[in-house]
């Protein structure tokens, strides 16, 4: 998304007629359902990703996230779930808040977008 020049233009909200977009952060929650081929048949944890950079509407709160950020969030979620099932102790070593244990229902992983970097790709885990 192109950034407006400071104080010269504002970006209108795509969801409401009176809102203007401002820089901020948002939180996304990913449910327990695991749709990928690798995880079929297993219950996964809920993953909460906080402090995600976004453009936020000052009226309705709509969040717009650029594609590069979305890709990074998806990678964090995928890696967090992988580690939760294979190497749960490693998550806490990476600075991730974990609730629950693999194999139990109700697991929750909280990942802060700004400060948490999980190993990228399965080859680096282990």
- The pLDDT of residue 52 is 97
pLDDT band at residue 36 under the 50/70/90 scheme: low
Contact present, 108 and 99 (Cβ < 8 Å): yes
- Ramachandran region of residue 8, left (φ > 0), alpha (ψ -120 to 50) or beta? alpha
Distance CA 25, CA 35 (A): 27
Whole-prediction pTM: 0.76
pLDDT digits (tens, 9 = 90+) for 87-98: 888 887 777 888
Domain ranges within the chain, ordered by starting residue:
27-55+63-118
């Amino acid at each position: 998304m192109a950034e407006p020049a400071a104080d010269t233009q504002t970006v209108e909200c795509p969801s409401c007629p009176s809102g203007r977009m401002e820089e901020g952060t948002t939180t996304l929650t990913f449910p327990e359902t695991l749709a990928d081929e690798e995880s079929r048949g297993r219950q996964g944890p809920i993953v909460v990703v906080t402090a995600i950079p976004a453009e936020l509407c000052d009226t309705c709160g709509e969040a717009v996230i650029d594609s590069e950020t979305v890709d990074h969030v998806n990678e964090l979620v995928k890696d967090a779930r992988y580690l939760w099932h294979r190497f749960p102790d490693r998550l806490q070593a990476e600075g991730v808040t974990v609730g629950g244990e693999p194999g139990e229902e109700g697991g929750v992983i909280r990942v802060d977008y700004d400060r948490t970097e999980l190993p990228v790709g399965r080859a680096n885990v282990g």
